[in-house]
Structures are given as structure tokens and as C-alpha cells.
Amino acid sequence: MATDNTNVGFQIGEKIRSFRTLKHLTQKQLGKMCGISESAIRNYELGNRYPDEDTLMSIADALDIDRAVLRDPNPHDISTVEQFLFALERLYCLVPKMVDGELHLIFDKTAASSSSKQIIDKYLLSDLLYNWCGIRDSMLDGKITPDDYYAWQIAHSDTIGTDEEFHGYKLPLEQQKEMEAARRAAGFQPAPVYDENHVNVMPIPPKKKGDSKPSLEEQKAQELVKQKRKRKPKTK
């Protein structure tokens, strides 16, 4: 029988209580897992006290949920939802558009991003939405259960349900390439981009002389070479 998740509230105290109940934990057990008292958990759930950021992170980790799930804003408040949508336009160029008489939210390709970070963030959000869409479609097609779908939402995990790994849709290749180009322009360590045949379509460029310090992997490789050289016997 599917779990009824419609009773999960949107205030922090309500969410802590709802997720604690879903995990079959008492207030005392949750408090012990977080290193705080039972009365503190009770006061958080009743709304008498508000957990600080560190405590909120500890509670989310103990409940095995995404920390963002416990935070505001309140989706029941239309005015805050409106401001949140406006923020999505400013930060990610996500805008409303009429397509064949139906309202859609799309990424505005004509909007100029102000920085490499904004470009990267836009594609990261797009990647998240593709993944979400694929997993939701799998739930609608009966490949996963509504409980699995809900578990993925609150845990924000790539694995849901049983031992099988499950992933949503991948970000289109052209968008992957655009995001990687923005990453490199921003000075991030280059990463390869593979097509559906696992062909590297964006090889890592050779390091230029005088470039900044090597990556962690390169440092480890260099240290390994040094150790081997030390062990190599001298020739007469």
C-alpha cells in the first residue's frame, strides 16, 4: 500500500516530525542521532524553537534527506512562490512561454548570462530537471512505485527503490558541451564530455607552461613517480 505523503507540512517543525515518523524514529532516538536532547526535538517540532544551521544539517543527515527539504520557502504562500519564480528567471533564465496554447517554463536562450557561473548554474538546473523528468516518467510508466519516487525526492539520490541504480534523462550533448566550455572559461579543471557511444567529444587540452598548480590526480601521479625514482638503484 502506498504511503500517503500529502500530510507532510511545509514548516520546519512539521517536516521534521513527518520525516521522523516516516523513518519510524522516536524524538529521543532522533535526538541521540543528532547529539541533542529529546526536548530540543520536541520544541523544534512544536515550533517553539528554530534549529540553527548546524543543527538543521545534523537532523537532515540523521533522517537521510536532502538538507534543502527542511528549509523554507513555503509553497503555500503564493507571494513567496511568485518571488521564487522571479528569482529563477534572474538566476537561471527560466521563463514562462506559451507553446501551442499551453503554458511552459523554458530556459530563455536569447537571454545573455552575466557570468560563467550563471551559465554553469543554468545548465546544472537543466540537468536536474532532465533527471527529474526521466524519473517521474518512469513512475508514470509503472517502472518504479510512487513510494520510490517520493523516496528519491526527499533523499535526492541517484539510487531509488531496491538495489538497482536508476537514472532519469541525461542532459543533451550540446548542453553538456556548452556547460563544460563555460566551466573551462571560468578556470575550473577541465573534464571530458562523452557522447552516447562513449567517444570523448571535448578532450582535455594539454597543460600550458606556467599554468596554475596541477590537479589532485596529477599531484598524486607526480608523487608516485618521485617515490619510484627514489627506489630505483643507481647505475654504475
Q: In this predicted structure, what is the pLDDT of residue 70?
A: 81
Residue pair 192/200 in contact by the 8 Å Cβ criterion: yes
Q: If you search the block for the grid coordinates 534543502, which residue do you land on?
A: 68
Rounded distance, CA 176 to CA 167, Å? 17
User: What would the pLDDT profile of 106-125 be if each residue is shown by its tens digit?
Assistant: 998 887 766 788 888 889 99
What pTM did the predictor assign?
0.63
d(C-alpha 47, C-alpha 55), whole Å: 15
Distances (CA, A) of 44 to 36, 53, 86, 154, 225: 11, 13, 31, 19, 54
Q: What is the CATH number of domain 12-70?
A: 1.10.260.40
pLDDT per position as a tens digit, 179-203:
999 889 888 889 999 999 999 999 9
Q: Distance between CA 71 and CA 88 in Å, rounded?
A: 17
Cell numbers for 196, please give them. Answer: 552516447
More confident of the two residues 35 and 215:
35
**Is residue 141 over pLDDT 50?**
yes
Average pLDDT value for the chain: 81
CA angle at residue 211 from 209 to 216, to 5 degrees? 120
The DSSP secondary structure of the chain, one letter per residue, reads -----TT--SSHHHHHHHHHHHTT--HHHHHHHHTS-HHHHHHHHHTSS---HHHHHHHHHHHTS-GGGGS---TT-HHHHHHHHHHHHHHH-EEEEEETTEEEEEE-TTSPPSSHHHHHHHHHHHHHHHHHHHHHHHHHTTSS-HHHHHHHHHHT-SB-SSSSB---PPPPHHHHHHHHHHHHHTTPPP---B-TT--BSSPPPPPPTT-SPPPHHHHHHHHHHHHHHHHSPPP-
Residues 6+ apart with CB under 8 A from 146: 2, 139
Over residues 3-61, the pLDDT tens digits come to 444 344 447 898 899 899 999 999 999 999 999 999 999 999 998 999 998 999 999 99
